[in-house]
Amino acid sequence: MNIVQPIRDKRVIEGIKSFLKGRNQRDYVLFCTGIYTGLRISDILWLRVSDVSGTHIVLREGKTNKPKMIKINIELREALNPYIKGKQPEEFLFPARSRKIKSGLRQQPLHRSTAYKMLNFAARHFNLRDIGCHTMRKTWGYHLYMHNPRNLALLMEMFNHSSETVTLRYIGITQDMADRAVDELSYA
C-alpha cells in the first residue's frame, strides 16, 4: 500500500478545484466534499442529496460505525447548491454514470476506483505525487492543523485517532519536520 500525502499548497488546491470544475461538476463537488469535510471516500460515495441539504452532514461512519456530524462550511455549500438543484433527495450525491457490470444495477454510487482515477488525473496535471483518495481527508486535516495547531486534540478526536502522534504522522506534519531537519543538517 502506498502512502499518500496531503496537498499542502493552497494555490494547488484552488488550481485543482478550478481544473475539475471546468471538466466535470460531479468531480469538482466530490473533491470539495473531501477537502471540506474530512470524510473517508467510502463515506462520501454513499452520501445522498438529502444528506447535504441542511447545515450539517449526519452519518454513521462505515469504518468505525460511529455517528458523525460535520458542518457544511460556506465554500462547500457554494459548490453543493447548484450541483444538487433539481435532484431528488434519495439520489446518490455522486452517482456512477453507467450500469454496474457485476450486478447490472443502475443509479449506484460512484466506485472508489473511479474517484481514485479522477484524483490522479488531476494530480498528474499539477505534477503531484503520492496522491490517492485519502489525500482529500489528509488535506482537510493538514490545513485545519496549520490554521490552528493548538487544536491538535480536537483534530485527533475528529479523525478518531488514538494519539496526537498518530494524527501528526497521518497529516504529514511528522514528515515535514523530518524533511526540514535533514535540510538543516550541516557539519560546517
| Long-range Cβ pairs for the range 107-113 (8 Å, 24+) | 109/45, 109/46, 110/26, 110/30, 110/45, 111/45, 112/41, 112/42, 112/45
What is the structure's pLDDT at 38?
95
Name the residue ranges covered by the structural domains of the chain.
Answer: 10-183
CATH H-level superfamily of 10-183: Intergrase catalytic core (1.10.443.10)
Angstrom distance (rounded) from CA 142 to CA 172: 7
Residues recognised as catalytic? 40, 63, 134, 137, 161, 170
* Confidence grade of residue 37 (pLDDT, cut at 50, 70, 90): very high
Instruction: Report whether 53 contacts 89 (CB < 8 A).
Output: yes
Mean local confidence (pLDDT), 152-162: 92
Q: Is 4 helix (H, G, I), strand (E, B) or coil?
A: coil
Global pTM value: 0.89
User: DSSP labels for 124-176?
Assistant: HHTT--S--THHHHHHHHHHHHHH-GGGHHHHHHHHT-S-HHHHHHHTTHHHH
Q: Enumerate the β-bridge partners of residue 69.
A: 58
